[in-house]
Every structure is written in structure tokens, then in C-alpha cells.
Amino acid sequence: MINNLHHTGPLTEKRQALYGHAGGVIWLTGLSAAGKSSLAVALEQALCARGYACYVLDGDTLRTGLNANLGFSPEDRQENVRRVAEVAALFAQAGMVCITAVISPYREARGYARQCYAQSFHEVHVAADLSSCEGRDPKGLYRKARTGELAHFSGVSAPYEIPLNPDLRIDTGRETLKDSLDTLLRYVLQHIPHTT
Amino acid sequence: MINNLHHTGPLTEKRQALYGHAGGVIWLTGLSAAGKSSLAVALEQALCARGYACYVLDGDTLRTGLNANLGFSPEDRQENVRRVAEVAALFAQAGMVCITAVISPYREARGYARQCYAQSFHEVHVAADLSSCEGRDPKGLYRKARTGELAHFSGVSAPYEIPLNPDLRIDTGRETLKDSLDTLLRYVLQHIPHTT
């Protein structure tokens, strides 16, 4: 967890005045194919249109860059989530609303992520259930996980620990993306209001 | 190097309109105690005062967070710089001016950093020479490096590969911080102009 003494004080206020809102982390957690990335990108577009400084950290995309040297073992997943948590906190300290889309299957790791930016961390459970996600299976990952071709797959051959007290839970298994976005956007506008 | 397809297109333009400038990376490289962090923070303040969306990634600070699990062996230094390069590129993709203050002693690693955000990457050699840095030694690190208490110390017991063709070179060994800042700020305002 970063020592953020440098990033408190006058610059924080200047940034808040410049962007019209405080920094924060919107942490989307859920199974593969639950709709995290779609929701994250839709939220980013909606916030950008409203003049928010915001950015998506997508787990799959980061695995082609920052996390390209990590696999899917429990240790690597933990390191994957730790790095995303640290970077999300940097973005929030920089005054932005950082939206993360990472499975982040372990409660402990999500708790760590919260501690990295406790002043404005919002855990959102993107809560499509396993059968919905497996029914979609857009990348054929569940099929590969069932045949054993893909190991350590959250919800199939590795745990996904459901959030017990998320700040928001969205049932993307039943709702349309538009309805899910409406719920999420309303939450963000309320909790990280834009002053202008 | 991140696959940034998601981050090109309409949102990039929206961000540029919102912030009044494009994203970019100002990469400060130089020996320990050359004045990278001081210069980075001074630049951040000067840019913030001019309405820029900007943020400092400081190597020492990151070693308490994102890079807390890395040491100073050549492999760990390489990974340290790689992660900073990837995160700096994320900030630039998010539309911000990201200022990094990391020794980054190897040419190859700095070249990698440039490739991560080639469209607007600016290598700045903070070029106080070894005797100036060692004369200052604010944290007593050179003394420890000379007695062998500290291993792999750039410029003493590990290489520092001087940039051959930096975009800017600033002699922080002779100049005052104010003069160095003036030079750096002029460069940034010219190469990443603010439109408003």
C-alpha cells in the first residue's frame, strides 16, 4: 500500500477544483462473462459525457501490459489483483474516477484493494450467476475450463468468493446492460458528485 | 506493452477536449540525488497551476506500493522500470501528463518505456554528474554504496547508462532548481500545449 503523503494537501484540492469531483475507485468484481468490461466501458462513456475525469483498468487488457508476466495460479491472481489495486489507487490520488474490471475472486484481495484507497472505494458486485455466465461463454472459456483445458478457472475449478457486503450489487444475469448501467451510474453520480 | 485498441478513438478526443491537452509521458532519468523527484514535483505544481491534468510517478514512492515486492538486482530493476513504463502509458492514455522520476539506469528499459507510449514520450536526462550527486547524498546512500553496505547502486556498483539522445538534458548539478524547472516547463508547454 503506497505511502501517499506526497499526494495529500494542496494539489488534491486543485485537482478536485479542476475536474469538478473527487477521485475514487469503482471496483467491479464478478465471474468471467458476468459483464464487467461492458459495464465498465459503458460507465466510462457515460461519465466522460458528463465531464468526469475517468479511466477503465480492465483485467484482460492489463494482462497484455502491466500484468503480462502473470499467470492464473492463486499466487499470480493475488499479485494481479494487488497491482490493479495499487494502480487504481494511483489514479484516484491523481483525482480521477478509476473503474476496474477484474474478476478478483478473493475477499482478502478485494479488502486490500479497498485499503489502498479507503477514502472513496466502491465495491460493485457484477452478480450474474454461474449458469448465466456459462450460458453466454463468449470466449469459450467455460467450455475449456469444464474439459480441463483451462486450469484455475474462477467459479469452475477455482473459488469465486461472493462479496458479502458490496457497496452495490447488480444482477447482470437478468437485467439488460442499459438497466445495469442506469443503476451503476446513479450510484456513482450520488457518491462522487460533480460540482459543476 | 499494452494492447491499447480500447483506448483509441472517440474517448481520446473527448478527454483531450476536457483537459485541454493531449496525454504524454515526461520521463525523468538520472542518478540518485540528481534532483529527479524535486524537479518532478515542481513541474507537477507548475502544470497543475496552468490547468494541466498531470501526475507524478515517483520511483521511491512506488517502491512502497506497486513495486514493494521488488529489490535492486538487475532483474528487479528491469521489472521496476517496466511496471512504471506500463503505468505511465496508462496515465497518458487516460489523457494525463505523467511525469516519472525513476533512476532507470538501462538504455534498453528506457527504450521499452518509450515504446509503451511512443506518440508522446519525452526522455529528460536529469544530468547532475556523479560527484555532484555524491557530494549531496541527502539520504547517505552513496556512503553506504561505497562501504559496500548497499549493493547494486547505480553509478557506483551498478551501471548508469547515460542517455545518448535524450529529448532534453538538464544539468541539475550546476543549475538551481528554479532554472531547471524553467527549462523543463518551457519544453513541456511547447511539446504538449494547452489549448485553452
Cα→Cα distances A139→A132, A134, A144, B37, B176, Å: 14, 10, 10, 44, 57
Would an 8 Å CB–CB cutoff place A47 in contact with chain B?
A: no
Count of beta carbons in the 10 Å neighbourhood of residue B6: 16
Is residue A180 within 8 Å of residue A172, measured between CB atoms?
yes
In A14-33, the residues whose Cβ lies within 8 Å of chain B are: 14-15, 18-19
The two beta strands, A24-29 and A121-126, are parallel
Residue corresponding to grid cell 494541466? B52
CB distance A95–B2 less than 8 Å? no
pLDDT, position A196: 74
DSSP class of residue A181 equals: H
Q: How confident is the model at residue B10, as a pLDDT?
A: 76
Nearest to B145 by CA among B84, B103, B82, B173: B103
Interatomic CA distance for residues B153 and B133, integer angstroms: 13
Residues ≥6 apart with Cβ < 8 Å to A133: A31, A32, A33, A34, A142, A155, A173
Burial (CB count <10 Å: 0-12, 13-18, 19+), residue A185: middle
CA of B14: which chain A residue's CA is closest?
Answer: A48
Q: What is the pLDDT of residue B117?
A: 97
Domain B10-189 has CATH 3.30.470.20: no
Per-position b or e across B113-142, b if 16+ CB within 10 A of its CB: bbebbeebbbbbbbbbbbebbbeeeeeebb
Contacts of B142 (CB under 8 A, 6+ apart): B32, B33, B133, B134, B153, B156
Say whether B55 and A89 touch across the interface (CB within 8 A): no
Where are the domains positioned within chain A? 24-187
Query: Which segments within chain B are labelled E, that is strand?
Result: 24-29, 54-58, 97-101, 121-126, 168-170
- Fold for the domain defined by A24-187: Rossmann fold (3.40.50)
Distance from CA of A35 to the nearest CA of B (A): 16
Whether B132 is a known active-site residue: answer no
Q: With a CB-CB cutoff of 8 Å, which residues 147-176 of chain B face chain A? A: none
Model-level ipTM above the cut of 0.85: yes
Per-residue pLDDT, B1: 65
The pLDDT of residue B9: 65
Q: Is B3 on the interface with A (CB under 8 A)?
A: yes
Structure confidence by residue, pLDDT tens digits, B133-152: 999 999 999 999 999 999 98
Size of the A and B interface in Cβ pairs below 8 Å = 91
pLDDT at A6 over 60: no
Indicate whether this model's pTM tops 0.90: yes
> Quick check: A136 contacting B, CB < 8 Å?
no
Task: Assess whether pLDDT exceeds 80 at residue A5.
Answer: no
- The pLDDT mean for chain A works out to 94
Q: Would you call A3 and B65 a contact, using CB atoms and an 8 Å cutoff?
A: yes
Q: Does the pLDDT of residue A151 top 50, yes or no?
A: yes
Position A165: which residue type? N
For each successive 10 residues of chain B (196 residues), what is the average pLDDT? 57 94 98 96 97 96 96 92 98 98 96 97 96 93 94 92 97 95 98 93
How many angstroms separate the CA of residue B115 from the nearest CA in chain A? 12
B116 touches chain A (CB under 8 A): yes
Rounded Cα gap, residues A7 and A100, in angstroms: 21
Residue in A6, A94, A116 closest to B96 by CB: A94
Residue B90, beta-bridge partner list: none
Q: Smallest CA–CA separation between A169 and chain B, in Å?
A: 26
Sheet holding A121-126, edge to edge: A54-58, A97-101, A24-29, A121-126, A168-170
Look at residue B3 in the predicted model and tell me its pLDDT: 54
Looking at residue B196, its pLDDT comes to: 74
